[in-house]
Amino acid sequence: MKLIAIARKEFRQIGRDRRTLLILLFVPAFILLLFGYALNFDIRHVRLAVDDRDRSAASRSLIAAFVNSGYFDLVAEVDEKETTRLMDRDEVRAVLVIPGDFSRALRTGRPAPVQVLLNGDNATTATTVMGYSLTIIRGESAKYAPPSAAPPITIEPRIWYNPELRSALFLVPGLIAYIAMITAVVSTALSIVREKERGTMEQVRMAPLDAASFVVGKTIPYFVVSLASALGIVVVSMVLFGMPMRGSWLLLLAALSLFLVGALGLGLMISSIADTQQVAFQVALLVSFLPTLMLSGFVFPIASMPRALQLVTYAVPARYFLVALRAIVLKGAGLEVYWTDLLALAGFAVVVLALASVRLQRQWV
């Protein structure tokens, strides 16, 4: 079989470049380990400064409520001038300003305003911090205000799949998709164009071989390598980050394989189009690095994007894989839920591999 011959040649070539092979096999798992540990969206230890112009028991009690909430670290007592300086330098993220007549207003039953200044540069963090402070102030306020009638409707939230809302359970699947995607695209993006640059492509062309088997033969060894590395990532997420496995392993393997073949195919397609490795690298980076991060629904929810951009996300394979991955490991859902996503992944793989073959065939003739 010609296909096998190509695959064997590639295997041997991968084996010769030890550094590349080791990077492909082990670095992804290490990166996941590092990121899974380092990253989270849980906002704690918000650096808080206090501008207490009242200095009464009531104001101290409000400050204590902030500190005891566990969300804020009191780092400074400031006056108005200091406030600007500390905020400009990012030394504090929030400032609580308690006006001079705070306790008097409370005693006489008037509304007692307090000001919370927030550094809004990171809107997400700011929104969360705002929520924390409003809750704390409301709680403290209840001590003074006459108890109002129970609110007619309360909300009773129940959260499925991730009841403690651990951000690891949300981040880790995204990281798996991201790292697997980059590893796969990167491993094949240079594989054809390198042969073009070095001139060995001419020899391959002479061989009695059609473009399609050449492309498939190139995919197989990298598929083995990237599947091994992806499984490494999955194992790390389960053992170290407590990612559950509520669905079927077989389906996970299927989804992962389809995703990887698509990503490898994308790399090959880039490689068949590019004339130099520099171009191939740049393109690979541009189509995989940021889009997988930002257009896959990993960090930014797709539903919040403008309509036109939502259409673009259909071209990002990680989008489908993420849906399937979350459904399998977190929800334990069956095939009927995400078969369309698997189909899309398969479709993507077929399209990019076909494009790569057609492109090569044209160059050969």
Which residues in 191-220 contact another protein (CB under 8 A)? 194, 197-198
61 Cβ contact partners less than 8 Å away, ≥ 6 residues apart? 140, 143
Does 149 participate in binding another protein (rule CB under 8 A)?
yes
190 DSSP assignment: T
β-strand partners of 98: 52
Does 68 participate in binding another protein (rule CB under 8 A)?
no
Does 154 participate in binding another protein (rule CB under 8 A)?
yes
Does 101 participate in binding another protein (rule CB under 8 A)?
no
β-strand partners of 76: 49
Q: Which of 15, 70, 100, 131 binds another protein (CB under 8 A)?
A: 131
When the beta carbons of 35 and 241 are compared against another protein, the nearer one is 35
Q: Could you give the C-alpha distances from 62 to 48, 50, 140, 147, 219, in angstroms and in order?
A: 13, 10, 7, 19, 63
> Which range touches another protein (CB under 8 A), out of 189-197, 232-240, 252-260, 261-269?
189-197
Does 1 participate in binding another protein (rule CB under 8 A)?
no
Does 127 participate in binding another protein (rule CB under 8 A)?
yes
Does 303 participate in binding another protein (rule CB under 8 A)?
yes
Q: Which of 35, 67, 204, 251 binds another protein (CB under 8 A)?
A: 35
When the beta carbons of 300 and 364 are compared against another protein, the nearer one is 300
151 Cβ contact partners less than 8 Å away, ≥ 6 residues apart? none
Q: One-letter amino acid identity for 260?
A: L
When the beta carbons of 40 and 350 are compared against another protein, the nearer one is 40
Does 126 participate in binding another protein (rule CB under 8 A)?
yes
Residues in 36-55 at the binding interface with another protein, rule: CB under 8 A: 37-47
Give how many residues touch another protein by CB under 8 A: 126
β-strand partners of 73: 47
Does 364 participate in binding another protein (rule CB under 8 A)?
no
- CA atoms within 13 Å, Cβ hemisphere of 94: 27
Does 158 participate in binding another protein (rule CB under 8 A)?
yes
Give the distance, in angstroms, between the CA of residue 14 and the centroid of all CA atoms in the same chain.
29
When the beta carbons of 75 and 351 are compared against another protein, the nearer one is 75
231 DSSP assignment: H
Q: Give dist(CA 47, CA 76) in Å, integer.
A: 9
Q: Give dist(CA 269, CA 145) in Å, integer.
A: 67
When the beta carbons of 208 and 307 are compared against another protein, the nearer one is 307
